[in-house]
Each structure stands twice: as structure tokens, then as C-alpha cells.
Structure 1
Amino acid sequence: MALSTGRAAGTASDPAAGGDARGRRHRGERGRLRGSLHRHWYAWAMVTPVLVVMAVLIGWPLARGVYLSLTDATEANIGRTIGVNVIPSSYEFVGLDNYLEILTSDVFWDKLLWTVVWTVVCVGFHYGIGLGLAMMLNRELRFRSLYRVLLILPWAVPAFVAAFVWRYLYNSDYGVINGMLRAVGLSGVGWLDDPTTAKLAVIAVNVWIGVPFMMIAVLGGLQSIPKELYEAAEVDGATPWQRFAQITLPGLRQVSSTVILLGTIWTFNMFPIIFLVTRGGPGSETEILVTYAFREAFTGVRDYSGSAAWGVIILGLLVVLALAYRRTLRRQGEIW
């Protein structure tokens, strides 16, 4: 009887015991946090300004953009001050209407298709040409340092300067390219007047700008591969292709995965090349998602809510791409 009474008392006290355990655990966690802050206060002190700046420059605009994307804000109904007159905003919350309008329009899917083609082609050329040049510069070569400097120059030139130079080169009447064609008896080409040639033109400019970064990154990866592996493979009778496939590519896997992801994100959002070389034309044939979002916000009757929705969709696409890419690498054992 006493035993059963003791069990009943123990059972009745279990909730209190569980609460005490949770309380001790909570106090322990707070103690560890205070200890970490006390021991590493200098690290937190140095990180805090960066976090504050990121919150101000990235967090607040992002939150504001997400909010605007859920409204019908335009230039006509947003609050503004004209002289001494203060006009209050009159836009309203519309929920997901902007997203539904964008995702059900042919314009979005056309721009998305061209953006994907633009990104895949450019990044493919970036990596392929960059790998070839890196392998060439990784060998003993006369004037190798000079070649490296010359090949890095396109990357050192600001993007807007390169865009204006290439726009002049593509000029139908006075451009250097058409001048060279006429010098050999060929007719000039309206590079920026036809949708096909305009797309090829902006791809060429972006490839010219992006190859040096890939080359430098891959060259660093090549120099980290032990030369003993190549020497052993050569002694075993491996062909150059076998050495490339079995040693070079696996040795570059981590570097390649990182630079390809970075190149994809940069190219997907490569605003200056498209906007400055072709202005998105002819018509809007060469506009990618980010340039179209810009036009929505800053041309005509400025559609702030629509451009914000475009921006949120672009961000979502890049986040999904990055997560899927990282998941693929994780499955392959390449965790970074």
C-alpha cells in the first residue's frame, strides 16, 4: 500500500520534476550564452557593426520591397512632397495579386527563358575558356607573367567602361568591327539592330569580361594539385586526356563548384552589360529579368509594386537554384 502510494506521489510530482528539469536546462543555456559573450566579447564587438550595416543596407530594403510587392503602389499613389504640399500615399494592400499577374503573363516566361539561356551560355563559356587559359598558364611558358597581366585586364576594367567600348565597337556606321568587315569587302552588320545578333553581341561582351575571374580561380586550383600525381600517372602510361579526366577535373571539383555558382548568380543579375550595351533592345528582346524589373520601376508610370514583385521572384529563383546546387554537391560528397 505504501509502495503504491509512493508511486502515486511520484507520478503526481512528475510534471513539477519535468518543469524543474526544463528550468535547469534553460538556465544552463543562458549561462553558456553569457559565458560565450563574456569570453568572446571582442568578436561580438567586431561583428556587430557589420550586422547593423547589413540590416540597414540589405535587411530593411528587402523587407520594404517584400511589403511593396503586396500592394498596388505606383508613382501616382505613393506619398510624396511637392514644395510645401505633402501628398499622403493612397496605395492599398492587394496580397499576391502582383505575383499572380507576373507568373501568368507571357512576358515573364519569355524573359525567364532568355535569362536562363543567357546564364547557361555565358557561364559555360566562362568556365570552358577560363579552364583552357588556366591550364596554359599553369605550364612553363615564356612571358607567362605578361600573359597573365594581359588576360586579367578585361576583369580590371569597370563593367560600364567595357560596355561603352563594346557599344562603340558594335556601332553599325562607325564601329571598328564593321570597319574591318568593309575593309575586306564584306557588308556591315547591324549588330544591335537584330534580336539574334544583339543577343550574340551581349553574350560576347559578358564572356570577355567574365573569363579572367574563372581563369584566376581555376589557376589557383590547378596549382594546389600535387605534381606527384601527374608524374605517377605519366609513369603508369596514362594519356594526357586520362590525366586530365582522372586528376585535373577531380582536383578542381571544389573550386569549380564554387566559382560556377558565383558566376551563375552574377550572370543571372548582370544588369550593366545588358542595359548599357543594348538598352534591352531591339524592343525588349535582350532584356533579362533584372533589367525588366528596373524598367518597371523607373520608366513610364513607375510601377513600384510590380517591380518589387519581380525582384522578390528573382531572389526566390536564385535561392532555389543555390539550395538545389548545394544539395547536389552534398549528394556528391562536396560539402562547402
Structure 2
Amino acid sequence: MSRARRKAAASAGAPGRVRKALATHWYAWTMVAPVVLVIGVIIGYPLVRGLYLSLTDANEANVERNIGMNHIPATYRFTGLDNYTEILGDGVFWSRLGWTVVWTVACVGLTFAIGLTLANLLNRKLRGRTFYRLALILPWAIPAFVSVFTWRLLYNEKNGLLNKLLAGGGIDAVPWLNDPTWAKLSVIAVNVWLGVPFMLVALLGGLQSIPGELYEAAEMDGAGAWQRFRNITLPSLRGVSGTVILLSTIWTFNMFPVIYLLTRGGPGDATEILVTYAYRLSFVDSPRDFSGSAAWGVLILLLLSMIAVVYRRSLRKQGEVW
């Protein structure tokens, strides 16, 4: 059979396979369809609406609104890619992007390193291992805003516990949230504290799925602890670690609560990441710039999509080596 005929046969068989799958698993499709529809509406409509607004000059002064009994129609107009051109040509975007990348890499790197270290320790037979596991997972169980406000109290320059402890040791108070450098270190520390439990649980599950016979065989062959970790543990955790690093990157890149509740992007704009700046445009600045905020949101989505694609491709290449 020629290549063209095989392609035509495959194209003709595709609808048949779809019909067969629907006929065989009709009950499952019936159960899943409402959920897919609801999620599609919840995610799809804001996404399409945001994309549309990013191509206009919509702001607080020209959108449709009601003032008292008067209805004012929308007067914003389609501007094409003007918002994107303005954003990419402005240094504000690149400075925010630079800090967002540093913030994400630092948080994900530290979270993964600490989570993997703790997972290795808790995977051993330790006395009180259950207690340690519960204690380390506790930050994950507490609502994020409660944790962030608690840390904000600890960081208080005048009455915070951290500076009181330093004062007890004869050390001057540290402006944790009022100095740009210290503020950056402070928000990274809080986000790492919040993210370690997730990384710990995921990696611990991966470690427990590794057959013990592999370590026993390697030990009999004379492999040391580092060799066993490098040649058995890391390759075996590749699937789990790849997934959690990607998820953690996406979450951290868009980690609005920690930045906004702890520093509101300050001092000045030192800790402001892309998502908090997009929020500021739409809800804080006056007049509120809805189109600019939407354009920033679309750019964030594109950046994360690119990161996900590049990261997954790199994992596949590593898989060929491993």
C-alpha cells in the first residue's frame, strides 16, 4: 500500500475509532462531560475575554458602566497589538520579569533541595518518624494567608519576634520588609517555607516506590552512599521530580498571595513580580488599565507555556540518556 493510501486509510479510520470509544465508554463520557463543560466555561470564558481586552484600549473611563440611573455604553476601541508593543518596549516589563525569574528559580531550587533532603531523612527508619512527618507537613495544612500574616508579624521591624531575638543577642534590628534586599530574601524564605511540604510529600512517595533490592545490590557491589544516591535515587525520581518542579515553577511564577500580602510589591517595587503588577494595573492604579492588565496576563500565560514545553522536552532528552 502506498504512503498516500495508508494516510487516507488512517484518516478514514479515525472517526470510526472515536465512535467505537464513545460506544464502549459512553457512561464514563456522560459522567465526565458536565465537569469538562463547567471547567471549560470557567477557564475558557475569562481566557477569551482577557485575550480580547488585551487587543483594545479598555480602561476605567471607557468601559460600559452604570452611574446612578444612567447607563454609559463602552467606548473603547480595538488597537491590535499596541498593548504588547508598548509593554515589550518598556523597561518595566523586563525589570519585573528579571526579578520574577530570580524569585522563581531561587524558590523552586531551595524548595526542591530542602524537600529532597528531608524526604531522604524521613525515608529511613527513625524514631518518631510519624511525628516529624506531621510536623513538616503542617505549613501545608495552614491556609496561605494565615501563614503569610504570621510571618509578617514575625518580620515587624519594631515589635517582631525575629528582631527581638536579635536584640537579645546584641544585634541591631533588621529591616526585613523595608529594605529591598532584605525584603527579597524575606519573601523567598516565606515561599520556601510554604512550598517544602508539597515537595517533601511528593518526593517521599517517590522514594518509597524505589525497590530496596536496588540499593542492596549496589551496596554489595561496593557503591557508596553518594553513588547510590546519584545512580539509583535521582534517576528513579526523575518522573516525580520533573512533575513537581514544573508545578512548583508555575505556582511560584504566579505566587500572588505571598508577595502581595507580605510586601505589596514593596518597598517601592523591589519585590513586585509580573502577576502582582498586572493586578496593580487593573485594581490599584487610577484610572484602572484593564487592557494593559489583560495583556500582561496573556504574556504571563505565554511565558509559562514556553517554560513548560522547553522543560518537558529537556526531560525527554535526559530520559534518552538515563
Fold match, TM over 0.5?
Answer: yes
- Tell me by how many angstroms 1:27 deviates: 7.4
Measured against aligned partners, the alpha-carbon deviations of 1:225-253 in whole angstroms (never above 9, x if no partner) come to: 11111111111111111111111111111
- 2:207 paired with 1:209: no
Q: Hey, what's the Cα distance between the residues in 2 that align with 1:290 and 1:296?
A: 10
- Tell me by how many angstroms 1:52 deviates: 1.1
Q: Secondary structure at the match of 1:70?
A: coil
Q: Hey, what's the Cα distance between the residues in 2 that align with 1:147 and 1:165?
A: 22
- 2:304 paired with 1:315: no
1:251 alignment partner in structure 2: 236
Measured against aligned partners, the alpha-carbon deviations of 1:113-155 in whole angstroms (never above 9, x if no partner) come to: 0000000000000000000000000001000000000000011
Q: Secondary structure at the match of 1:81?
A: strand
- Closer, same or farther in 2 for the Cα pair 1:287/1:26, shift >3 Å? closer
2:276 alignment partner, one of 291, 306, 321? 291
2:265 alignment partner in structure 1: 280
Q: Secondary structure at the match of 1:333?
A: helix
1:226 alignment partner in structure 2: 211
Q: Hey, what's the Cα distance between the residues in 2 that align with 1:330 and 1:57?
A: 32
Q: Hey, what's the Cα distance between the residues in 1 that align with 2:221 and 2:17?
A: 56
Q: Hey, what's the Cα distance between the residues in 2 that align with 1:53 and 1:268?
A: 26
Measured against aligned partners, the alpha-carbon deviations of 1:68-95 in whole angstroms (never above 9, x if no partner) come to: 0000000000001123211000000000
- Using the size of structure 1 for normalisation, the TM-score is 0.90
Q: Hey, what's the Cα distance between the residues in 2 that align with 1:33 and 1:227?
A: 43
What CA RMSD, in Å, does the superposition of the two structures yield over aligned residues? 1.8
2:40 alignment partner, one of 55, 70, 75? 55
Q: Secondary structure at the match of 1:78?
A: coil
- Tell me by how many angstroms 1:26 deviates: 7.8
Unaligned runs of 5+ in 1: 1-17
Identity across aligned pairs (percent)? 65
Q: Secondary structure at the match of 1:75?
A: coil
- 2:178 paired with 1:183: no
Q: Hey, what's the Cα distance between the residues in 2 that align with 1:189 and 1:143?
A: 36
1:154 alignment partner in structure 2: 139
2:99 alignment partner in structure 1: 114
- 2:319 paired with 1:333: yes
- Tell me by how many angstroms 1:29 deviates: 5.2
Looking at CA atoms only, which structure, 1 or 2, has the larger radius of gyration?
A: 1
- 2:262 paired with 1:268: no
- Tell me by how many angstroms 1:36 deviates: 3.3
AA partner of residue 280 (structure 2): R
1:77 alignment partner, one of 59, 62, 82? 62
Q: How many pairs are equivalent?
A: 314
Greater CA deviation, 46-55 or 282-291? 46-55
- Closer, same or farther in 2 for the Cα pair 1:260/1:26, shift >3 Å? closer
